Amino acid sequence: MFLSWCRSVFSGSFNNVVGFLYQFGDAAAFLVLSACGLAIIFGMMGVINLAHGEFIMGGAYVTATVSKMGAPLPLAILCGALAAGLVGIVLERLVIRHLYHRPLDTIVATWGISLIVSQGTLILLGPSLTDMSTPLGSVTIGELSYSVYRFALMGVAVAILAGLYALFNFTRFGVLARATIQVPHMAESLGVNTRLIYSLTFGIGAALAGATGGLYAPTMSLVPTMGAQFIMEAFVTVVVGGGDVFLGTAPAGVALGFVKALMTTWQGQLAGQIGLLVAVILVIRILPRGISGLILRERA
């Protein structure tokens, strides 16, 4: 039944094909944007950051607040990303720095931080923030209308991946960051300020989370628990992708986005979530080190 439905989708009407491609692009962009900040913090620093969702929530709240003050949306998103990045640097210096090479302790610490932030936001700002309107309107393709802003998010996901690749491969900071992550003692003996590199790397991961919150702020309800909508899918994307942001997270986001879109168009959102988790279980069983582990092993 499912296989016959798949054949009908790909050989069906123009509207079905465009609708599926839209769902696929939207799901893949959501997964990549949600996971890239987490992948940097976990893949490069070995820190399991359970407060990732709260960085996303904080970026969304700052974006909404700055936007309501009259700033254009791109500037508001930038403010949300910078605010999350600065908070991330402070958090790394005060808490995370003392927990490197202790992954279980980072889980407990960041989980506690996430509870403090979400409950503190609920107490201080209330159960919700006034929603933002989705910009750019819609476009009609065939017989159906699609959000132009969702198409823009797909492009932003590709642009962020390209920017990260350039940052970590073609800049002095990227060279120092990779050296610090791979052989920290050697890098420090050569004069690299490894503490600063760790802080900046964590800040970049937090800033990407804040940017994700800002980008999706116009598309969802702004509540203190909104980070939970991102963190599960971000974690499964990082787990499937493995430790490498570019060889793992991007392919994992595309593959899981395809599965989610296929199941969603077949049986709805719940089936999409179930299909996503089943795919994750199968990949972990077959590739315990993720997609990037397979690629790096074949290269070796």
Residue type, 133: S
pLDDT value at residue 10: 52
pLDDT at 300 over 70: no
Q: Give the residue from 17, 38, 3, 10 showing the smallest Cα distance to 253.
A: 38
Distances (CA, A) of 135 to 76, 174, 222, 230: 13, 34, 16, 21
- Measure the CA–CA gap between 55 and 86, rounded to whole angstroms: 11
Residue type, 70: G
- Measure the CA–CA gap between 86 and 109, rounded to whole angstroms: 18
Residue type, 29: A
Q: Kindly report, residue by residue over 46-83, the tens digit of the pLDDT.
A: 788 888 889 999 999 999 999 988 889 999 999 999 99
Which residues does 116 contact at the CB level (< 8 Å), separation at least 6?
none
Considering the chain, what is the average pLDDT of its residues? 83
Q: What is the average per-residue pLDDT within 105-134?
A: 86
Residues 19, 180: contact at Cβ < 8 Å? no
Q: Kindly report, residue by residue over 224-257, the tens digit of the pLDDT.
A: 888 887 888 888 888 888 766 667 788 888 888 8
Which residues does 215 contact at the CB level (< 8 Å), separation at least 6?
33, 77, 153, 156
- Measure the CA–CA gap between 69 and 65, rounded to whole angstroms: 6
pLDDT value at residue 11: 53
pTM, 2 dp: 0.87
Q: Which of 115-119, 141-145, 224-228 has the lowest mean pLDDT?
A: 141-145
